[in-house]
Amino acid sequence: MEKIKLGIIGIGNMGSAHAKNITQGKCHEIEITAIADIDPKRIEWAKQQGYGESVVYFDDAISMLESGLIDACLIAVPHYDHPSLAIECMKRSIHVMLEKPAGVYTKQVLEMNAEAEKHPEVVFGMMFNQRTNPVYRKLRELVHSGKYGEIRRTNWLITTWYRPQAYYNSGGWRATWSGEGGGVLLNQCPHQLDLWQWICGMPVKVDAHLHYGKWHDIEVEDDVTAYVEYENGASGVFITSTGDACGTNRFEIQMDKAKFVVENDVLTVCEYEMAEQEFSKTNTKPFGNVNSKTFKVEIDEENPAHVGVLNAWADAILHGGKLVADGREGINGLSLSNAMHLSSFLDKEIILPLDDELYYDELKKRIATSKKKETISGGFADASDVMGSTKS
């Protein structure tokens, strides 16, 4: 069987999790041939994990990319380095799988996407593993079916991201503008922001209220309430926090002819007998309501999660199959988080598409006063300086 020769940049929490899945035989068309990390301790640790005697280890990413040992690369490093390393892969016609988020600010991600357009031979994927969840895939199918009319309202309350102070104390780069580029929106919520736009589409207006270090001793946001409007006049609310010890994950979509709710991995449908507009015009009872039936959608499929994303990527490289998420789509969810930040920074409503330069300028102001003074190389230095640090 032909296999992809994979290099991994960053053998921290996520890089090692992917490596474990591959070495356990869950990705039959992928073999690890090289690993790069700037932390000698992580390299020594990796050598003890049984990734294979033929795996070659590097103390910087560029040397690995130049080695000729790989034809595909998985990037799992701190956020600022994502676009610059992806670009380095593309320039060498190396296929790319990028961990979320696509980057910290849309300006750098636009540059990455522009480079991707220059290299159609490169299969560029994003690790949006929540798109493999059959519950969300079914929800998207129902919303896009045309059977239920248009979206009227979307609400996502996602506060199951509780983190104690010890979590933020575990790494100097965590929860700083220069080290991570944001808080709960950029670290914990990229999957939800991606699913939100993947299922409901992109809004045209964002008005957000963010609290910085409300529940923790950190400089970035740990509590968010955002209001959005869509082109058709629908509205939406996105609420998240890392401060709720007993949080909730509830996604609700109100449409003309149905209400959908996802909670506790269960999709519930409340299906109306007729569209609300039609009922309201024809009903004669002051307190009348449209007849409806409520049922849970039976989901028999399993969620392949990260393994599913990697296997689809391998299939796309070797056989021309379809990716779970094209890497260029990563800018959508990032545009939402950048717009929420910018709305908070400027205390005003933000119109999308985002003003990429304005956001970048505002971000740099916060980096200048960040507790972690040194910036991640991929964000603010030449790509040639990138060494490939560890995301943990």
> What's the Cα-to-Cα distance from 108 to each of 13, 114, 191, 213, 258, rounded to whole Å?
24, 10, 19, 26, 39
Asked if residue 200 and residue 155 are part of one domain, the reply reads yes
Based on the fold, state whether residues 316 and 261 are members of the same structural domain: no
pLDDT in tens, 137-163: 999 999 999 999 999 999 999 999 999
Domain that residue 86 falls in: 4-130+305-329+381-385
My answer on whether 285 and 159 are in the same domain is: yes
Tokens found for residue 272: 């109306």
Residue 57 exposed, middle or buried by CB count within 10 Å (0-12, 13-18, 19+) = middle
The structure's pTM equals: 0.93
Residue 351 lies in a domain: no
Question: Phi then psi for 165, rounded to 5 degrees?
Answer: -60, -30
355 assigned to some structural domain: no
**In which order are the strands placed within the sheet that holds 350-351?**
292-296, 266-272, 258-263, 249-255, 151-158, 235-241, 221-229, 205-212, 350-351
pLDDT of residue 85: 98
CATH code where residue 30 lies: 3.40.50.720
pLDDT in tens, 232-254: 999 999 999 999 999 999 999 99
99 and 196, same structural domain? no
pLDDT of residue 359: 98
CA angle 45, 25, 27 (to 5 degrees): 100
Whether residues 285 and 316 fall in one domain: no
194 pLDDT above the threshold of 50: yes
Same domain, 106 and 140: no
Q: Which of 271, 296, 321 is the last residue of a domain?
A: 296
The three-state secondary structure class of 183 is coil
pLDDT in tens, 302-348: 999 999 999 999 999 999 999 999 999 999 999 999 999 999 999 99
For residue 1, name the pLDDT band (cuts at 50, 70, 90).
confident
The arithmetic mean of pLDDT across residues 98-117, rounded, is 98
Alpha carbons 49 and 210: distance in angstroms, whole number: 41
- 125 and 145 belong to one structural domain: no
Q: Which of 244, 274, 296 is the last residue of a domain?
A: 296
Q: Is residue 237 located within the same domain as residue 163?
A: yes
User: Does residue 280 sit in the same domain as residue 310?
Assistant: no
* 30-36 sheet: strands from edge to edge: 56-58, 30-36, 4-9, 72-75, 95-98, 124-126
Residue with tokens 């930040």: 341
CATH number of the domain bearing residue 167:
3.30.360.10
Residue 172 sits in the same domain as residue 260 = yes
* 252 token code pair: 């609700």
The model's pLDDT over 288-302, given as tens digits with 9 standing for 90+, comes to 999 999 999 999 899
pLDDT-based confidence at residue 173 (cuts at 50, 70, 90): confident
* Domain assignment present for 237: yes
How much is the pLDDT for 171? 80
Asked if 138 and 98 sit in the same domain, the reply is: no
| Structural domains counted in the chain | 2
Region 28-39: what's the mean pLDDT?
Answer: 98
